[in-house]
Chains A and B, each alone.
Chain A
Amino acid sequence: MADVKRTVDALWRIESARIVGTLARVTGDLGLAEDLAQEAVVDALAQWPESGIPQNPGAWLTAVAKRKAIDAWRRRDRLDDRYRALAHELDDSVAGADAWQPIGDDVLRLVFTACHPVLSREAQVALTLRVVGGLTTEEIARLFLVPVATVQQRITRAKKTLGAAKVPFEAPDPAEWRARLGSVLGVVYLVFTEGYAATSGDRWIRAELAEEALRLGRVLAALVPREPEVHGLVALMELQASRFGARVNASGEPILLADQDRTRWDHSQIARGIAVLARADGVGRGRGPYALQAAIAECHAIAPSVDGTDWARIVLLYEALGRIAPNPVVDLNRAVAVSMATGPASALAIVDRMVDDGSLRGSYLLPSVRGELLTRLGRRDEARSELATAAALAANTRERDVLLAKIAAL
């Protein structure tokens, strides 16, 4: 029985997007489609241990879910056109194993609907992982370190919200396309970066989250290959993930990029990331924020060492990124790159401007970088004071320890 469950879980990962997408198109209701698909999975778990796994398990699950949809309508006495149309389609699928044909756009509609703006980010993430990623609620809960009930509630609320807002099961209009696609990419990247947020004890969870995000990204890339930012995001994730093996030491403490053992980077993954970035460029519509970030990651990935890094190029990329996606963290990263390319004095000028502007107030990042630059300029007393400020603002003990160590080294 345990084997059947694992097989059904595996099948759900492979088939869920297509099944739920098709059902959602037929019923016009994503929430209902997900419910029906789940009921079909329950039936599979009950029947397949005895009857064996069917030849085309995806078609089996869809046909069972459709039958349940019709039963539900029958019970509600809705003898209208939709019922008749469904009944007709069901006859087709019973007639021949391959008569059931999903439409290519179903998964795309599913992705956009699961990431609809009426939903909170958490709801988008949970729903997308559930119906597009095909994860079980237990798996989602484990990956985000929240109770299973919390995930179930998020998904239930998400479905109700979609129903209440009467969100149609459609891909967005051209006018909304860019913004909506950005939202989808944001959901995928959030799944990926949750991995960065995990503590050292969960490094394997972090790797799993990264894999899930990469898979979602690749699915998107196959759905909308003419969108350069989709490839840009996949490239960014491949390149960032390539460093996971070197980011944490044996005791679980994080290691900064500059100190990482580069032989522990996954060089196959780096090659893949570079190839995908080239694919983004190949679309010929320039580089958006994700592709630019990927290009910066590429500069690090191909460099043999910190000193051997093309910092001047990184500065240019951060300048471009800062113009199209203004963000104080980008400015700070640019300052760090400038300090490597030109020297700490030029970088300090940038950081001082940010301080005057009140950027990143309350964050340890700005005083941390300022302290580092002052250290390199030999202004030790000022550095000490700045790093102490940063340590006091540090968000957790790990960050604080790193800063305190820098003070001690002065």
Chain B
Amino acid sequence: MKFMLIMRANDDAKTAYENMPFSEVIEKMGAYNESMINAGVLVAGDGLADDLSEAFVVDFAGETPIATDGPYGETHELFSGFWIIQVSSKEEAAEWASRAPLGAGSKLEVRRVTDMSDFEKFAETDALKAEAAWRAENGQE
């Protein structure tokens, strides 16, 4: 089974990172990634850019979706990166998550990634078939 480890960081965490030597941050993250690679569990992972100048939010509240720069202000815990790991149990996912080199102000939200088996009973739905076809066409990178 696959789990996604979702990093969320508030301003305390950002301040702490700014006060740490950059090489130390990179080294610790690198060691963590390497430990998961060496254990054969890392499937995917990426960080999201801290600089929000290229970020925007699409809001579906109204009839037409509206895009605004952001997320600013209201957001206390910014989604800043993720890993996807392949493990055999929730406990194993918890163990890996707890080893992440994160400090105060950071949280890891851990969620199971659904696969086709979760949708087995709905397999005939046109919408799901269409989604599957989209994934097929787009290689789902």
Q: A residues touching B (Cβ–Cβ < 8 Å)?
A: 3, 6-7, 9-11, 13-14, 204, 207-208, 211-212, 214-219, 221-223, 245, 250, 262-268, 270-272
Q: Which of A219, A250, A271 contacts B39 (CB 8 A)?
A: A219
Q: B residues touching A (Cβ–Cβ < 8 Å)?
A: 1, 37-41, 43-44, 86-89, 91-92, 94-96, 115-117, 120, 123, 129, 132-133, 135-136, 138-141
Contact in complex: A216, B132 (CB < 8 Å): no
The answer to whether residues A10 and B40 also contact, given A245-B116, A265-B136, A271-B141 and a CB cut-off of 8 A, is no
Total contacts A to B, CB within 8 angstroms?
79
Give the docked Cα–Cα distance between A224 and B129 (Å).
40
Contact in complex: A222, B92 (CB < 8 Å): no
The answer to whether residues A267 and B140 also contact, given A7-B95, A10-B95, A11-B95 and a CB cut-off of 8 A, is yes
Residue among A13, A208, A266, A270 having the largest count of chain B Cβ atoms under 10 Å: A13
Contact in complex: B139, A215 (CB < 8 Å): no
Residue among A218, A223, A266 having the largest count of chain B Cβ atoms under 10 Å: A218
CB-CB under 8 A from A266, the residues of chain B are 115-116
CB-CB under 8 A from A271, the residues of chain B are 139-141
CB-CB under 8 A from A10, the residues of chain B are 87-89, 91-92, 94-95
Contact in complex: B40, A215 (CB < 8 Å): yes
Contact in complex: A14, B89 (CB < 8 Å): no
* CB-based closest 3 A-B pairs: A218-B40, A10-B91, A263-B132
Give the docked Cα–Cα distance between A65 and B141 (Å).
44
CB-CB under 8 A from B39, the residues of chain A are 14, 215, 219
Instruction: Give the residue name and chain of the B residue nearest to A220 (CB).
Output: B40
Residue among A7, A10, A207, A266 having the largest count of chain B Cβ atoms under 10 Å: A10
Give the docked Cα–Cα distance between A296 and B86 (Å).
25
Contact in complex: B123, A250 (CB < 8 Å): yes
Q: Which of A207, A217, A250, A268 contacts B140 (CB 8 A)?
A: A268
CB-CB under 8 A from A14, the residues of chain B are 39, 92, 95-96
Q: What's the least CB distance linking A203 to chain B, in Å?
A: 9
CB-CB under 8 A from A7, the residues of chain B are 91, 94-95
Contact in complex: A263, B37 (CB < 8 Å): no
The answer to whether residues A263 and B40 also contact, given A6-B89, A245-B116, A268-B140 and a CB cut-off of 8 A, is no
Q: What's the least CB distance linking B90 to chain A, in Å?
A: 8
Give the docked Cα–Cα distance between A250 and B124 (Å).
11
CB-CB under 8 A from A11, the residues of chain B are 95
Give the docked Cα–Cα distance between A10 and B87 (Å).
9
CB-CB under 8 A from A207, the residues of chain B are 117
Contact in complex: B132, A13 (CB < 8 Å): no
Give the docked Cα–Cα distance between A125 and B111 (Å).
32
Q: Which of B37, B40, B43, B89 contacts A216 (CB 8 A)?
A: B40
